[in-house]
Structure 1
């Protein structure tokens, strides 16, 4: 947009796969931003539905410029953000705004994030449940405590001057500085799905990134009721998914992340939680066996096992 300072030049990155209606919805929401990005890099993960035709049509309808990157195969969200952020780095943008195709940013989402980058490198909106913006889509552990909150008003009370430091939910409308991305690189494409966002956040923190949630900025996302399922008599939670693909990737990538950033005790704690959950909370022998396979793959850093679920 004309009149923007270099610090305000934004490249958005949207990753999609076989969700033509949703990608049109989010691109129209990005186009309606009060601070419109200069370009939107749309990564199409080899969609087989009407997504290519929808993107071709939108390129002629929207005010924002679309740069469509069509990949030859489905690389998941991890591969999509890896490729999309690499493409965005080739632009003159100083800020990168990342999101999946099923989210929905209100028109002031981006504009309300930008001022926080005067103090932070990696910021994000409060991710609220679509249809009930009083509820968080993903539970948040309040920094400095063991309290996990599920409602927006709890986050507002825990924030300072409208910001909750040390917490962000990637990749749901997060805004990053070019300097940070150039220092830490792009997401790990081999993760396919699940855990790539956590790894990227932990990598950023390890590099000294200042992280925060801007509570007054919101980003709607479909409710994910199985995330944070209570277990061990309510003492902790587990990220259960009914999808074998998602669970396999979650367990495998969790082992890799915990081993790299927490240590073997973190891996052991995750194993105990997994066994407990599928023995007592939601007994499932098949899921226990799949978990064991995924954990072995994580220990060996074997990232090919999920591909059988794609056939």
Structure 2
């Protein structure tokens, strides 16, 4: 069990952004109104839309750091979390530039005193009674998409053992010092899940606080039905996202679930691009991505940038 942050804990927000200045501006302006925050650290993934110049105009409470190249969300959160710890943060509030915490979201999260890694629900900004990222309830296979279902499943306002990183999650300094930083080499897709799995393996106390919320644009359906509707597959039309998903998900399964789960994912991918949505090119890409990951090559995604 990790130490409980002091009542006067220093809370720092870390925001990762890339070429979405208008979204970043709305988020930073919201965060500047959060009294519990000591400062806001923005990691800019080498944006070309004026983000760096705009950050230079902010006050002392908002600091920006522009990376030398686009390292994806994974490097952004790796560097941002390290930066926050260097600046003596006791708690770090992690988020992308396309989410918008409700007023009072952080205050509600801070009411929980016995957690190490916890966050809000992420709801659809256009349909706030629906989750952007569905939650698989602990102790079973049920996946819920509606806010009402999550609230019914909660105990004392939260669901233990589940969190959706990095969308408004809080992490303690003590946990970061114990388990390290997110894997920068993952670029995108799976870095946040790997960090949650690592925290879980280290015995961290994890939870979702259901009456703390972040508004987020819809990302569409995250699961395409396959095998006659008995399961789903995270198909993306983006080659970049698919390459990173295939590579990183295989590594996460091998590391935290074991080879049987990893091989099942390989078989699932082969089925999907052979029968569900036949695509020899996408199947070949999947094989290449998985092979790259197994041999420790984290440069292959660059061909899809």
* Structure 2 length-normalised TM: 0.95
C-alpha displacement of 1:231? 2.2
1:38-57 alignment to 2 at 5 Å?
A: 38-57=38-57
Q: Per the alignment, in what secondary structure is the counterpart of residue 54 of structure 1?
A: helix
Aligned to 1:94: 90
Aligned to 1:202: 197
Aligned: 1:213 with 2:220: no
Distance 1:272 1:150 in 2: 27
Q: Which moved more, 1:293-302 or 1:222-231?
A: 222-231
Q: Per the alignment, in what secondary structure is the counterpart of residue 172 of structure 1?
A: coil
Aligned to 1:150: 145
Distance 1:31 1:283 in 2: 49
Distance 2:81 2:150 in 1: 29
Superposed CA offset, 1:272-292 (max 9, x none): 221222223322222111111
Q: Which moved more, 1:120-129 or 1:276-285?
A: 276-285
Q: Per the alignment, in what secondary structure is the counterpart of residue 137 of structure 1?
A: strand
Distance 2:239 2:131 in 1: 25
Superposed CA offset, 1:51-88 (max 9, x none): 1122123x14xxx7012111111111000111111110
Distance 1:229 1:284 in 2: 15
C-alpha displacement of 1:7? 4.1
Superposed CA offset, 1:198-219 (max 9, x none): 1100010111101000000001
Equivalent residue in structure 1 for 2:61, among 61, 65, 68: 65
Unpaired runs of at least 5, structure 1: none
Aligned to 1:32: 33
1:258-273 alignment to 2 at 5 Å?
A: 258-273=253-268
Distance 1:159 1:25 in 2: 31
Structure 1 residues 122, 7: CA separation in 2 closer, same or farther (over 3 Å shift)? farther
Aligned to 1:133: 128
Aligned to 1:170: 165
Q: Per the alignment, in what secondary structure is the counterpart of residue 67 of structure 1?
A: strand
Number of residue-to-residue matches in the alignment: 300
C-alpha displacement of 1:225? 1.4
Aligned to 1:11: 12
Distance 1:257 1:211 in 2: 19
Superposed CA offset, 1:163-221 (max 9, x none): 11110000000001111111111101000111100110001011110100000000111
C-alpha displacement of 1:223? 1.0
Q: Per the alignment, in what secondary structure is the counterpart of residue 209 of structure 1?
A: coil
8 A contact 1:100–1:172 mirrored in 2: yes
Structure 1 residues 169, 146: CA separation in 2 closer, same or farther (over 3 Å shift)? same
Distance 1:165 1:229 in 2: 28
C-alpha displacement of 1:122? 0.5
C-alpha displacement of 1:230? 2.5
Structure number having the greater helix percentage: 1
C-alpha displacement of 1:234? 2.6
C-alpha displacement of 1:8? 3.2
Q: Per the alignment, in what secondary structure is the counterpart of residue 100 of structure 2?
A: coil
* Structure 1 length-normalised TM: 0.93
8 A contact 1:256–1:301 mirrored in 2: no
Distance 2:180 2:219 in 1: 29
Aligned: 1:305 with 2:300: yes
Q: Per the alignment, in what secondary structure is the counterpart of residue 128 of structure 2?
A: strand
Aligned to 2:230: 235
Aligned: 1:109 with 2:105: yes
Distance 2:109 2:230 in 1: 34
Distance 1:129 1:280 in 2: 32
